[in-house]
Structure 1
Amino acid sequence: MTAEARRAKIVELVRELGTVRVVDLAERLGLAAVTVRRDVATLADNGALHRSHGAVSMPAGGTSPTVPEGRERVVGMLVPTVRQYFDEIIDGARSAAIAVGARLVLGIAPYEAGDDRAQVDQLLESGVDGLLVTPNWTPERPDGHSSWMRELPVPTVLVERRAPVDSVCVALDSVSSDHRHGVMLALRHLAELGHGSVALAARQNSWTAFQVRAGYAEGVRLLGLEPQPVIDIERPGRETEAVAARIAEGVAAGVRAVLVHNDQEAIQLVPVLRARGLHVPDDVALISYDDVFAALAAPPLTAVAPPKRAVGAAALELLLRRLGGGELPVHHVELLPELKVRASCGGEAV
Structure 2
Amino acid sequence: MREPVDARRQRILAAVQERGTARVRDLAAELQVSGVTIRRDIEELTREGKLRRGHGVVRSTLPAQELPEGGGGDGATVAVVVPERHSYLYEALHGARAVFDTAGMRVALHIAPPGPGTERPQVERALADGASGVLLAPRWRSSDVEQADYDWLATLEVPTALMERRPLKGSALHALDSVCSDHWFGAHLAVEHLVRLGHRRLVFATRDDSPTARTVHAALSEIADAHPLVEDWAWTLSSSRGGMDRGPGDVTDLASTLRKVGATAAVLHSDVDALMLVQRLAEDGVRVPEDFSVVAYDDVVAGLGSPPLTAVSPPKGEVGRVAAQLLLRRVDGSDRGGAHSVQRIELLPTLTVRGSTHPAP
TM-score bracket, normalised by the shorter chain, equals: 0.7 to 0.9
Q: CA RMSD in A?
A: 2.9
User: The residue matched to 2:126 in structure 1 has which SS?
Assistant: helix
Aligned counterparts of 1:325 and 1:288: Cα–Cα separation in 2: 40
Tell me how far 1:96 sits from its aligned partner.
Answer: 1.8
Tell me how far 1:246 sits from its aligned partner.
Answer: 2.6
Tell me how far 1:247 sits from its aligned partner.
Answer: 4.6
Tell me how far 1:74 sits from its aligned partner.
Answer: 1.2
User: The residue matched to 1:152 in structure 2 has which SS?
Assistant: coil
Q: Which residue of 1 aligns with 2:6?
A: 6
Alignment of 1:264-283 (within 5 A): 264-283=272-291
The answer to whether the 8 Å contact 1:188/1:223 transfers is no
Aligned counterparts of 1:129 and 1:8: Cα–Cα separation in 2: 24
Aligned counterparts of 2:10 and 2:143: Cα–Cα separation in 1: 45
Going from structure 1 to structure 2, the CA distance change for 1:241 and 1:146 (only over 3 Å counts) comes to closer
The answer to whether the 8 Å contact 2:205/2:238 transfers is yes
Aligned counterparts of 1:333 and 1:156: Cα–Cα separation in 2: 15
Match of 2:187 among 173, 180, 183: 183
User: The residue matched to 1:198 in structure 2 has which SS?
Assistant: strand
Match of 1:235 among 204, 229, 240: 240
Q: Which residue of 2 aligns with 1:300?
A: 308
Aligned counterparts of 1:187 and 1:135: Cα–Cα separation in 2: 28
Tell me how far 1:334 sits from its aligned partner.
Answer: 0.8
Q: Which moved more, 1:5-14 or 1:130-139?
A: 5-14
Q: Which residue of 1 aligns with 2:245?
A: none
Aligned counterparts of 1:270 and 1:234: Cα–Cα separation in 2: 14
The answer to whether the 8 Å contact 2:238/2:251 transfers is no
Alignment of 1:1-350 (within 5 A): 2-3=2-3, 5-9=5-9, 67=72, 71-141=74-144, 142-224=146-228, 225-236=230-241, 242-250=252-260, 253-323=261-331, 324-326=334-336, 327-346=339-358
Deviations along 1:36-84, one digit per CA (max 9) or x if unpaired, are xxxxxxxxxxxxxxxxxxxxxxxx976889946xx31211011112442
Going from structure 1 to structure 2, the CA distance change for 1:239 and 1:180 (only over 3 Å counts) comes to farther
Letter in 1 for 2:353: V
The answer to whether the 8 Å contact 1:8/1:100 transfers is no
Q: Which moved more, 1:273-282 or 1:221-230?
A: 221-230
The answer to whether the 8 Å contact 1:288/1:303 transfers is yes
The answer to whether the 8 Å contact 1:137/1:144 transfers is no
Q: Which residue of 2 aligns with 1:47?
A: none
Deviations along 1:116-169, one digit per CA (max 9) or x if unpaired, are 211110111111111101123244325344222111010000111011102110
Aligned counterparts of 2:356 and 2:66: Cα–Cα separation in 1: 55
TM-score w.r.t. structure 2 length? 0.76
Aligned counterparts of 1:297 and 1:255: Cα–Cα separation in 2: 21
User: The residue matched to 2:275 in structure 1 has which SS?
Assistant: helix
User: The residue matched to 1:108 in structure 2 has which SS?
Assistant: strand
Tell me how far 1:277 sits from its aligned partner.
Answer: 1.9
Aligned counterparts of 1:263 and 1:331: Cα–Cα separation in 2: 30
Letter in 1 for 2:156: L
Provide the identity percentage: 36
Aligned counterparts of 2:173 and 2:251: Cα–Cα separation in 1: 40
Count residues in correspondence.
303
Q: Which moved more, 1:85-94 or 1:140-149?
A: 140-149
Aligned counterparts of 2:179 and 2:251: Cα–Cα separation in 1: 36
Gapped runs of 5+ residues in structure 1?
Answer: 17-27, 30-59
Going from structure 1 to structure 2, the CA distance change for 1:226 and 1:91 (only over 3 Å counts) comes to same
Aligned counterparts of 2:155 and 2:143: Cα–Cα separation in 1: 23
The answer to whether the 8 Å contact 1:5/1:95 transfers is no
Deviations along 1:265-313, one digit per CA (max 9) or x if unpaired, are 1111112111112111111110001101100000110001111111111
User: The residue matched to 2:240 in structure 1 has which SS?
Assistant: coil
The answer to whether the 8 Å contact 2:71/2:103 transfers is no
Q: Which moved more, 1:6-15 or 1:97-106?
A: 6-15
Going from structure 1 to structure 2, the CA distance change for 1:105 and 1:10 (only over 3 Å counts) comes to closer
Q: Which moved more, 1:104-113 or 1:297-306?
A: 104-113
Letter in 2 for 1:232: L
Q: Which residue of 2 aligns with 1:43?
A: none
Tell me how far 1:325 sits from its aligned partner.
Answer: 1.9
Tell me how far 1:103 sits from its aligned partner.
Answer: 1.4
The answer to whether the 8 Å contact 1:236/1:265 transfers is no
Tell me how far 1:11 sits from its aligned partner.
Answer: 8.2
Q: Which residue of 1 aligns with 2:41?
A: none
The answer to whether the 8 Å contact 1:294/1:303 transfers is yes
Tell me how far 1:188 sits from its aligned partner.
Answer: 0.6
Q: Which residue of 1 aligns with 2:34?
A: none
The answer to whether the 8 Å contact 2:194/2:265 transfers is yes
TM-score w.r.t. structure 1 length? 0.78
